[in-house]
Amino acid sequence: MARHCEMSRDYDRALVLIEQALALDCRNSTALCVKGLMESYMACGRFKEALTVAQDSVMAMPKNAGALTLVGIVLSHIPDCKDKVRSSATMALRKALQADPKCLEALFAIEHYNAALLLNPNYEPATKGIARVECLINGDDNL
């Protein structure tokens, strides 16, 4: 139901439903709800809350590639972010790929870089980001 609300762009309702699911069955719902909760917060422009959800995931599962990727995704979506935030986003994705070089969510982040390049083919941070991710996938840790 929360996913339907999210797809219908009713993000506030999606947040309410996700929070209710977590309250009812925290253990089984957490893994399924965290990403939806984070995405809903981001869609509402509530990046601080989205980052808190992602960071809580990392605290609970510090070596989990999926949790590390969530942090990178949130940081990469913060509007008008500074280079330090972009660097932190890249670092989180790098850690995710080091934890699991085949992590689909971290690999999905490449699509974000590609989308940026579609908008501006000369956008150097996206070009460098793709190069970094490809090096990590190939096992080259000397970036």
**Separation CA 76–CA 81 (nearest Å):** 8
| 87 Cβ neighbours under 8 A, 6+ residues apart | none
Is 0.75 surpassed by the pTM of this model? no
- φ/ψ of 53, rounded to 5, equals -60, -45
Helix (H) or strand (E) holding 61: none
Query: What does the pLDDT read at residue 28?
Result: 47
The answer to whether 32 and 64 have CB atoms below 8 angstroms apart is no
Q: Give the span between the Cα atoms of 118 and 101, in whole angstroms.
A: 25
Instruction: Tell me the pLDDT tens digit for each residue of 10-61.
Output: 877 777 776 666 565 554 455 556 777 888 888 888 999 999 988 988 888 8
> What is the distance between the alpha carbons of residues 49 and 135, in angstroms, rounded to a whole number?
31
Confidence grade of residue 139 (pLDDT, cut at 50, 70, 90): low
Taking the CA atoms of 56, 61, 67 and 72 in sequence, report the sign of the dihedral they define.
Answer: positive
CB hemisphere CA count around 128 (13 angstroms): 8
